[in-house]
Structure 1
């Protein structure tokens, strides 16, 4: 899966030791440019990838990621792990007509043409006395 947006936060890196040796993971927050922006936290696992991607706050990026879930003590947790992060020119995002950056579902739908008010039939007006107010307040 892919998501395009702006990096708004870089969380502190976490390190540890496992049976395979030392490991390092860092999480980032990306925000889309949709009409209703969405945020996603994703992780980059491995010091080599963290260095190679060189993700900075404020960058416009395209994140390629996998989603997986795991169970711990009867609760389930999602994991969103990036396998590729590419920088995008911010000017090219603004130049794309009809496409909202960060949209995983393609171009934005075209707006329906507005119909003139005169084309709609007028509803008969009821007298104020005939109107029943059934609102609870």
Structure 2
């Protein structure tokens, strides 16, 4: 299955211990914009897969396999990434944060004593 979208959030890597040994996983939230209504999907990278080259705002195409498991009468589905392709350049974080700071300082400088900056 293929998922195309924009990386919205990269969650911190987690690790643990199981009968088979140590495991690590990292999840990313991808927003799909191909349909009329955008949808968010969590994709999981396990042990040997790496999501470190991705950045929020990066357009990606991810090949995933879906699997579901039952736990205490509820079913849970995991989308495991096995291939990731970047579709463009990630936006530069520096320019975005500096523009936000500039907007904030402009709003504070232009407001009167009784005006709110937003």
TM-score by length of 1: 0.59
Q: Does the residue aligned with 2:12 lie in a helix, a strand or coil?
A: coil
- Runs of 4+ displaced beyond 3 Å: none
Aligned residue number for residue 38 of structure 2 = 37
Aligned residue number for residue 66 of structure 1 = 65
Q: Could you tell me how far 1:36 is from its partner in structure 2?
A: 1.5
> Do the aligned residues in 1 keep the contact of 2:49 with 2:81 (CA within 8 Å)?
no
Judging by fraction of residues, say which structure has more strand.
2
Distance 1:54 1:18 in 2: 27
Q: CA RMSD in A?
A: 1.6
Q: Could you tell me how far 1:64 is from its partner in structure 2?
A: 0.5
Aligned residue number for residue 25 of structure 1 = 25
Q: Could you tell me how far 1:89 is from its partner in structure 2?
A: 2.2
TM-score by length of 2: 0.68
1:22-43 per-residue CA deviation (whole Å, 9 max, x = no partner) reads: 1100000011223321110110
1:71-124 per-residue CA deviation (whole Å, 9 max, x = no partner) reads: 11111111111111110126xxxxxxxxxxxxxxxxxxxxxxxxxxxxxxxxxx
Higher radius of gyration, 1 or 2: 1
Aligned residue number for residue 16 of structure 2 = 16
Gaps of 5+ in 2: 90-118
The alignment covers a number of residue pairs equal to: 88
